[in-house]
């Protein structure tokens, strides 16, 4: 089963507030931008023209990889509040 297929098996409850934020100043100077390719759900998308990051936090799988990988410790990462966030189903 591909990652894309597996992503169809998870369920999300959205929150109006992002549980992920970044330091845009640090991101502008970040050469690696590893968050944009390490995330299995393509949450982090850098726009070169506007020099801004789009964070599709609604798709976050809460794996924590981006926070660990970010070389500048630029990501403020919290679990989604309340009952929001991801649920993994079996099968
Ligand atoms: S890896 Fe960290 S500093 Fe670099 S672009 Fe991503 S969030 Fe910003
Ligand atoms: S915690 Fe995992 S799924 Fe969520 S944004 Fe970071 S790398 Fe992507």
Distance 43 CA to ligand 2 centre (A): 7
Q: Is residue 67 part of a domain?
A: yes
The pLDDT tens digits for 22-48 are 999 999 999 999 999 999 999 999 999
Residue 42: inside a domain, yes or no? yes
Residue 8's pLDDT band, with cuts at 50, 70 and 90, is confident
Residues, the chain:
91
Q: Is the residue at 19 inside a domain?
A: no
Give the domain range for residue 35.
25-82
- Domain count for the chain: 1
The pLDDT of 14-26, averaged and rounded, is 95
* Average pLDDT along the chain: 93
Residues 6+ apart with CB under 8 A from 37: none
CA torsion angle 55 7 77 44 (round to 10): -30
Q: Read off the CATH number of the domain in which 73 is found.
A: 3.30.70.20
**65 lies in some domain:** yes
Q: Choose which residue among 70, 71, 76, 77 to substitute to test ligand 1 binding: the one with the highest number of ligand atoms within 8 A of its C-beta.
A: 70
Backbone angles phi, psi at 58, to 5 degrees: -65, -20
Residue 26 near ligand 1, beta carbon < 6 Å: yes
């Amino acid at each position: 089963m591909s990652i894309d297929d597996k992503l169809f098996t998870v369920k999300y409850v959205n929150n109006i507030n992002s549980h992920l934020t970044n330091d845009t100043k640090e991101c502008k100077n970040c050469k690696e931008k590893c968050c944009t390719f390490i995330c299995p759900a393509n949450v982090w998308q850098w726009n070169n023209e506007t020099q801004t990051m789009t964070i599709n936090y609604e798709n976050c799988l809460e794996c924590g990889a981006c926070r660990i990988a970010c070389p500048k410790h630029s990501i403020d990462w919290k679990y989604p509040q309340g009952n929001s966030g991801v649920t993994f189903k079996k099968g």
